[in-house]
Structure 1
């Protein structure tokens, strides 16, 4: 049985109610983020770029950003050509992210990165650019372009995305579409080490010139898990100098010209792709190409010129064609082809002669394991996993799986791998994660990471261990428990073929005794939690990720639950918010120190402290500065004080460099304070202006000023609640009340023996 905590802790240390009985706090702006808000009334291109006064345009923000900072662009249409003129570092890249539906739009619109490195572009959308590429990268390295879309005007002539002398770069989950007469993505001969993954590259049939989806002219580049289609030239064109190119798990479809064209490049790997519906050849290798591998691909209906987007005057193509000197050194094997009908006598070409699979084998000595078939099941368990460029996962990220009902006719270390872009899976694999809310005794069970089998998952059956069973077609379900206790949550997933998979996870639903923030004494920074990562005392303000529920774990101990993660803290070499259950390893002794701070002793063995990297670890055998934390009730963070003397907000003037004074009509960062609960009605004030503790300087003979790194006798106040709803502060160092002297005209000072209008303050949010 759980034994209640000590009464003193329950009423003071563990209280979840605000000391000031006020509304919940609002979050202050992150100083590592520069904001762009075109629609904000207070936006200014010469301002600070804070959330309160953001930039109106992107370029002024980008011109100011430093390594490790983020430019956050919200919704709006920005008629700019954004030029990134600064570099980040591998450890602290510069990030530019569109957090809303922001579009860079106009005839000169685009994003330019020339001569820079370690830049991250997230969810950037460029539309209707006609002058230059929508994304222009040159002499750059260490770039990551994630998400977003690049859509040129119909009159555009440059490549939509151009890479010149670019290295160590990833383009992932981007959409590139347009009717340009050149390329969707172009990589010049000096570009190397670029990975294009999960991209969608589409053209149209509006241009007469042979345009290309992805043009690769430099060595060592990779195309993975992408979709390319609707180009009049080639879907993917690999130039003579583009040695060691890999094209894998990619769908190349519906082109008026060729699918994948290897134009003399050495050691190209064309592996596990799906190439279909081209007017010309599906895969063509020609010129002086050497060491090319064409394996595990599925080829369907290429070389048919009767489609509406084909020129009927052009000669029909084939599924796979080898030409010139390239024919003698290209490896073709483990492919599936279906050309018009099966069997087909024109699915292959050997130096311009169209022929059947059998004739191609005789002429080339290749394609011993190719299949002339349209049946998808023939792709199962039949790929060569030793082929160059082979990926351990399929296009969707699924690991290779063996179908026990089919013989393994493939080769390599995984002879059960499938051909083409999709790995056929067997029974679904269930996965369940739980998130707890102790305030409502609610658990949210999330089975979203469950993997389907041969059929998509159509049903989720959740058993919450208390007799409640919920059947749903959605992977996320919540349930409120009537009583506290330990339970097992399980989910059974099934597809339309009735194959099932089950996963389970134990949870502990404990009684919440309070909610606090933990402000580390050593650096006056709040502790924050992120799923799967070590707790870190690194935040200047108390936000949602810094709120922790204290729960009765029995025997006088507490369990600590991260409200944002929904998991209990556990010591796994460091303190992480990873555990859904509470055992001895997830319990802490809560110690109240003489100076009003608290400490946590993990499982009765070691005290939790802040190390040199600001991470929380449980290694100390005694309490020192690093093992002490101020407790802050979330409702007492980010508060304002309005003086009754003049109705003005109290400000830590000049970012805390000057004494506190009630002289502001509105509240910004300088006018906000966190109330530190020192127990027994005593508090301290932390100024958000500079992250310092407010002091009754000179034993109270001097004005209040925020200049201390800890709360001692001069920094401790008794909080007095007045009958009219206001509060007053009595400095413990001299037992005098804090006054907005001279009706607020002078700085605050603790010099009054009684409470009058000048000694009353209204606390706000």
Structure 2
């Protein structure tokens, strides 16, 4: 059969030792056998060498063995050379079998095993592994030696051979054996030796310039049916007035020269039916033959010049594994069956057979293959299939074997081994039924089923298959999602399910109104494009081979990513005509503002903008509502103001498809100023886009209070003074901080003025974040880039400053990120009329819990909500704090004077129950909360 041989010593050592141990263990115990087992507690070098009381060393057995006896080496490790000096007879030879190795002790000279001055000794099924500079086996003045079915290896430091035959030895017959010399020659014959046969064997050397078989001055050398594997060395070298023949050999094309016969031997050596291939294109000195000092690169050239090699082949593939043989190989049925020394079996003990698919071009019987191996009937089981492929125990299964039978050999039957401990079953057909009664305990919960096919010619072949047999259990689908780095709304869905049965398919509803999708198989992957940002409920219905179905749902969010602006542009100022006409907005008036495509904001892909809207010169109390242009105006408010005051509020508002937002004034007339602080893009998380950031709400924390010295300054900010504060550069487990979300409060102002908040070190702009008047306490939400810290600059009068951190925008860092989903504004709570809460004012030191998930379009699993929070008509000075529940933070969102109405934009974390909490410090106050959008974990990148 075809096989592949590795040249590495490590691989060869492992293979030979494993094979050796198996062979030794299989030997029969006979009365004529002496045993060597150093691991036995009963071993003794004084005998008797029985199975129960073996010798400890191989040398003790060698010194005791008598003609007709066999020495079985079970666990024999030699600390020095082993010498066989006792002889057998022609009718009763001495035999050594088993495994012999030596300790890697530097300085060991000679060979691991030496037959010295002895006759009629057989080395049969012997495995030797010599290290430490020792050769494997040596023959010194030895006659009538048979080496068969053995493997001899020499590896380690120093140049040593596999088999050394000295010049005084004769009648040596080597058959069906393998030799490996890591440094040296596989088989070496010294001058003077005679009648040496090497047949049906494999010779390999692992180092360059080594020799497979090196014979010098050998009389009657017979080399037949040998495969030689060598790299850049010589395959066969016959020198020193040698005589004999070389036939049916196959030599590796990688050798420098395949066959070398010196001038003084050329007249006495015959060569034919060999397979040699030279490749002079890689080295001009490569040759198939060096005969009598003349180089030849082809068999035709060699035959024409010498008359030798008439039937030689030089067609071995240069790039094929050597000497792998398959049907059609020129090595098959092309050898000389009558070659001197040729054996009736190959290296594996297999008989010569006729390949019916290959013409018989050899001599004699015409069925002898060249090289060490005889290609056998390739009858085998190519596949073993199960129906069903898996299921819970007890599981009835039909096992079917597919047979590869290129020789059309009559099949006599099949043997099935189910791998579950039950007896094997024989059958005359390749299909059989079997019930696996118990779950498989092996890794993966599988049984391995082995089927053996039997041919009429005595050949058998095997094949295996696996069947997964588990315990009864439910069908449990699972969905996984990943977003694309190039297509914002394209999501990859990975479908899987756990079941003791094979999962047969999935049906998926992506929850966006698109047609359901059917996919076969246990783990299909689908790509789906959603209509745009949003939270969608995806439903997967899985089916299995047991006829069951089960459904799983999972929400997938395509969020928007936030880009803060270092220099917030002013897009509206009705006092001077920026962004529109120069005029106040009257009652019921609407101002339309172009935001997408304006002043550095992208023209496309903008989902929402965050802008600071300030009312100035109001003629009466009123409210402003922000909403996307072209959509219905919601019944909510973003900015509540009083006549004679200046009131800012941060607004996050969706943008229409054509890039506009509208500001609606409910009553009176008022000037409006709008400064954009950042925008949300309609792209999901993209780790390769450093400009995209995502929000992490935190527990509100006070970082500046100039009234008491928090943040480093215990004094009001004077006109033109800036206070600088540093923020963390990185959020552990998330990414680099891009911007901070701050609640900024001005109180105790000596005159009207405004605060601008800028990135540290940047040029101040005309955009304002917080406008106030003398004696007025005003707060506003601010989003500011903080890569170099933030500076808070007062532009008029003196004023105390309070700063509370509400959260951070960060660049994607591999952790689950949250995306913002803007919604059409809706009113969550209004305590004035009982919307979403009892119809009563919020009292002192009291809290109001507001349900936010599972309502108004906010899905369960949202991490935070953005809302416009308004305190209305407080009867005492107070403040409101919005938080997720639990321990109340010391920070505030809105500071209210008696009778004051103030709004503020707040992004509030949601607790595990889907609620937020609003706290009132003092007096009573009505609370209005208008939902603007929410944050939710977005589908991760692949």
Answer yes or no: same fold by TM over 0.5: no
After TM superposition, the score normalised by the length of structure 2 is 0.35
Q: By percentage of residues, which structure has more strand?
A: 2
TM-score by length of 1: 0.43
